[in-house]
Structure formats: C-alpha cells, structure tokens
Amino acid sequence: MRDKFGRFVKGHLGYRGMLGKKFSKEYKEKLSRTFKEGYKNGTRVSWNKGKTGFYGYWTGKKRNSETIEKIRIANIGRKQSKVTKEKRSETLKRIGHRPPVMFGKENPIWKGNKAGSDAMHKWVYSKKDKAKICDICGKKEGKIEWCNKDHTYKRKLDDYISLCTSCHRKWDIKYNNYKGGMTGLKHSEKSKQKMKLKKLGKHFSLKTEFKKGMTPWNKK
C-alpha cells in the first residue's frame, strides 16, 4: 500500500505479501500485455529511466549506517542457489557489466614493499612474465624460477633474475644464508648431534623423552 506521494506506508509487506501465491497463465499474460502497452504509450515509466549503469539508481546516494546494519543482519547465513547465481551471471553479461579491476595502489589491500615473498613473486610474474632461461647455466628445460638477488624482496624488477631450480638453491645457499634441508648444505654440530641421537632412538630433549611407566599417546 502506498500514500498519495507513492511511498510505501508502514506495515506494507512488499514481495513478502505474495509469497506462496501463484498466478494463472491467463493473468500473467494479461499483466504482461498491460505493462508492454503502458511502456509503449508512455503511461508507465520504468523506475530506472534516465539512470546510467547497473547501479545507476544509487549513483551519488548513500545508505545510512542503520540501513546498512539491517541489510547485513538480514543476509547473515543466506546463500544463493545455483540457479540464482547463473541468472545473475547471465544478466550481468547481457548488460555488459564488469566489476572494477584494481591494480597496485588502487587496490584496498595493497601493501607496497611490505608484501610477502609469494606476493612479490606474483608481482614479478605479472610484469616480466614466465622465466624461460637460466641466467647462470643457460638451461631452458624444466622449471625456471624468478630469484630475488638479496632476499630483501623490494618492488624492483632489476632485483630478480631467472634461474633453474638447482642454480636457485645454490644461489640462496651462497648469497642469502639459506638453511633448508637441501643437498650441499652443511649442518651445525648441534644439528648433527640431534640427528645422531634420533637414529639411535633417543630424544634430544629430556622434556620429550619417553620414561618408564608412561602410557603412549595412542594407548590412552
């Protein structure tokens, strides 16, 4: 129900008032003809006439915090069906709507030089494309990776060189103090002692040593 200004009055059910109701085929056809004739002769005007873009109605408008909170609460736990998602996708494609693509500083989660190593490598791939040849041995087959020269991971393309997996590991061990469990890496005396005790079935730490009378974790 609306008032004389066309606004919905308090208590109006909107689409909820039609839940569970079904229209006959004849009524649907009559309703369709009425709408088409109205739009054709100008007696009916589309709500978004004169608006531009998919979200034209809300251009320049903002919902208040109370309305935003109500919408948030109403959508908690709500999931769209597969059919609804497909319909929405088809509609967006038909009207040519594309979500904005934000790169670099325009992206709200942009971290600049504070980004991690994975993010930096993805950034290098996006700028330099895939590494194709090792700059040290000249290898072209197998996996070729982008290597950061000094492991500072700055946003400078000149700080990255393309290396094969073998040369990449050797470079990191020699220049970047890499301490992974790779072939050619020298273990410390403490590490050697720990591995030796492990082979003998003993524990390196007294805290983790299994003592007489204790019940194994998988027997409890």
Q: Render pLDDT for 27-61 as a digit per residue (tens, 0 to 9).
A: 889 989 998 888 888 888 776 676 665 556 666 77
Residue 168 lies inside a defined structural domain of this protein: yes
Residue 185 lies inside a defined structural domain of this protein: no
φ, ψ (nearest 5 deg) of residue 34: -60, -45
Total structural domains in the chain?
1
Residue 195 CA from chain centroid, whole number: 41
- CA nearest to 122, candidates 160, 175, 166: 160
pLDDT tens track for 167-188:
988 888 887 776 655 445 566 7
Residue 141 lies inside a defined structural domain of this protein: yes
Q: Which domain holds residue 131?
A: 116-175
Residue 137 lies inside a defined structural domain of this protein: yes
Q: Within 10 A of 111 (CB to CB), how many other CB atoms are there?
A: 11
Residue that wins the pLDDT comparison between 128 and 21: 128
Residue 146 lies inside a defined structural domain of this protein: yes
Residue 131 lies inside a defined structural domain of this protein: yes
Residue 104 lies inside a defined structural domain of this protein: no
